[in-house]
Structure 1
Amino acid sequence: MAQKTALIVFAHQSPASFNAAVLDVSVQELTQQGYRVIVSDLYATNFRANATRDDIIGDLRNPDLFQYGEETMWAWKERRLSSDIMEEQRKVEEAELVIFQFPLYWFSVPAVMKGWMDRVLTQGFAFSLEKMYNNGIFKDKKAMLSFTTGATQTMFQADGINGDINVTLWPLQNGTLHFCGFQVLAPQIFWSPAHCPAAGRAAMLEAWRARLKGLQEEKPLTFAPCELFDLSFAGGFLLRPEVKKEKELQPFGITTGHHLGKPLPPDNQTRASQDQEPGCSSNL
């Protein structure tokens, strides 16, 4: 049996951080399971976040109007992308599992990780209009977000000051990972470790180690399949009328994003298992 490969895209400036401790646990546990683990340490390698003309080697198709998406699609087809992008794309191709490890910045990923997504997940390589969502290019791969927050878990509840964490995660998990076809595993959320005692942080790491042991057996999050929609410009890529009618009697929407004006499906982007780990009070 061929060796499995896991890619961890890591974004934290300090090797003494809790994120770095999580990374170490991930590498140790996945290696013990027989994975070949590749780490892309974005800060350590000074990965460039901004998507520019420098990402394309050689002439542009349309030098009068630079369109990054179009130009990088052609450059990918012709193997004319910059070497750092091509190296990261090679890692993604080899990996069955991709984990993004980061601290939550402004309800999203740090700029350097957003730059990785912008530059590495190019059209053609990661998606096309014919190959997206559950029919996407990476449909045989799994991906997940693993991140720390500064806020407590209660602040990210539906009645908390930050709003529902399920809504926060929708653009990343559906709009980026699932859009590229990944089977998206429930996120691993480390709630406010900076405000936890050492014992609480240790408990978080042990819970993560325990989860990693059964990660490949986990079912992915639920998203609305493409088959529910009219996948044409004429049809507006809208939910098919018969499907919409069928969903009218259901108490919840289909997903966090496809709520249809109904209550959100509970824990659609997090699962109930992603509660706060024991040993760290959300009031700290």
Structure 2
Amino acid sequence: MKALIVHAHSESDSFVAAMRDVAVATLTAQGAEIAQSDLYAMGFNPVLSPADFGSRKNADHLTYALEQRANYDAGTLAPDIVAEIEKVLAADLIVFTFPVFWFSVPAILKGWIDRVFISGPFYGGRRVYGAGGLKGKKALAAFSLGGREHMFGPGSIHGELETGMLRHFLQGALGYVGFDVLEPFVAWHAPYVTHDARVAMLEALGGHVARWENLPALPMPDLTKFDDSFAPK
């Protein structure tokens, strides 16, 4: 089994870095072949631009998704994008480790998705969700939050986590391109709990990652319920 760890935290001594290390150690112990993308350490450029393309299908106007597809086919995408695409396509499982900022993923991770999840091999037309280009691969998010667990869920102050706050990432990015999006691991209130509580969370994370093959997947739209224009049948 091949796994890719996509890590988005600037500090090597952070709790999220420890979460990354637990995921790597757990999967390695299971015999997985591990690749890593430590986005801050790599200095990954999160800003999409015309410079991502060595050639242009339309020199007069940039439609980014169309140029992604054309340049991928032509072999003229920026090398840093190609390197990340190859890691994703080679992986059976991708684990994302990051802190939640402002109801979202860190900007560097959002930019990685913008530049790497390209039209063509990842999605296109009706090749989304269960028919997406990455169908058969699994994705697992493990992230820290400042909030407490009771702040999330039906009737809570922040609402649902998976289907609310992080729906844009779990469904709109990972699910959209075809991943089986596994039940995420949440380190609640991480900056404020005791050392012993953090140790316990890391142990729980190890158990969660170890069960990756048997974790439930989050529900995604069923394409059989929609017509060719994606209108409900």
Q: Verify same fold: TM over 0.5.
A: yes
Counterpart-to-counterpart distance in 2, 1:91 and 1:121 = 12
The corresponding residue for 1:188 is 185
Q: 1:45: Cα distance to partner?
A: 0.6
Q: Which residue number corresponds to residue 115 of structure 1?
A: 111
Deviation at 1:161, TM superposition (A): 2.3
Aligned partner of 1:239 in structure 2 is 232
Residue in 1 aligned with 2:164? 167
1:265-280 superposed matches below 5 A: none
Structure 1 consecutive aligned stretches of length 4 or more whose deviation exceeds 4 Å: none
Q: Contact (CA 8 Å) 2:139, 2:182: kept in 1 or not?
A: yes
**How far, CA to CA, are the matches of 1:221 and 1:156 in structure 2?**
17
Q: Does 1:98 align with 2:91?
A: no
CA distance in 2, matches of 1:142, 1:157: 24
Q: Please tell me whether residue 28 in structure 1 is matched to residue 21 in structure 2.
A: no
CA drift of 1:158 comes to 2.7
Q: Give runs of aligned pairs for residues 189-268 of structure 1, distance below 5 A.
A: 189-232=186-229, 237-240=230-233
1:15-44 CA distances to partner (integer Å, 9 max, x unpaired)?
110000001111111001000111100000
Which of residues 48, 51, 59 is equivalent to 1:63? 59
Q: Which amino acid aligns with 1:145?
A: A
User: Secondary structure of 1:15's partner?
Assistant: coil
Partner secondary structure for residue 99 of structure 1: strand
* Aligned-residue identity in percent: 36
Gaps of 5+ in 2: none
Say if 2:153 is the partner of 1:157.
Answer: yes
- In the TM superposition, residue 137 of structure 1 has moved relative to its aligned partner by 1.0
TM-score, normalization by structure 1:
0.79
Max Rg structure: 1
Number of paired residues? 232
Q: 1:145 aligns with which of 137, 141, 147?
A: 141
Deviation of 1:129 (Å): 0.9
Q: Which amino acid in structure 2 is aligned with residue 189 of structure 1?
A: V
Q: How does the TM-score come out when normalised to structure 2?
A: 0.96
Instruction: For residues 100-146 of structure 1, give each alpha carbon's deviation from its aligned partner in whole angstroms, at most 9, with x where no partner exists.
Output: 11000111110100000000001002101131110111111001211
Q: CA RMSD in A?
A: 1.1
Cα offset, 1:155, TM superposition: 1.9
Shift of 1:157: 2.9
Deviation at 1:175, TM superposition (A): 1.0
Structure 2 Cα separation of the partners of residues 27 and 101 of structure 1: 11
SS at match of 1:64: coil
Where do 5+ consecutive residues of structure 1 fail to align? 241-284
Cα deviation for residue 82 of structure 1 reads: 0.4
Matched, 1:42 2:39: yes
Q: Quote the Cα distance in structure 1 between the aligned partners of 2:9 and 2:185.
A: 16
Higher RCO, 1 vs 2 (CA within 8 Å, ≥6 residues apart) = 2
Q: Does 1:87 align with 2:83?
A: yes
Q: For 1:223 and 1:61, locate their aligned partners in 2 and report how far apart those are by CA, in whole Å.
A: 33
Preserved contact between residue 126 and residue 228 of structure 2 (Cα < 8 Å): no
Q: Which residue identity is paired with 1:64? A: D
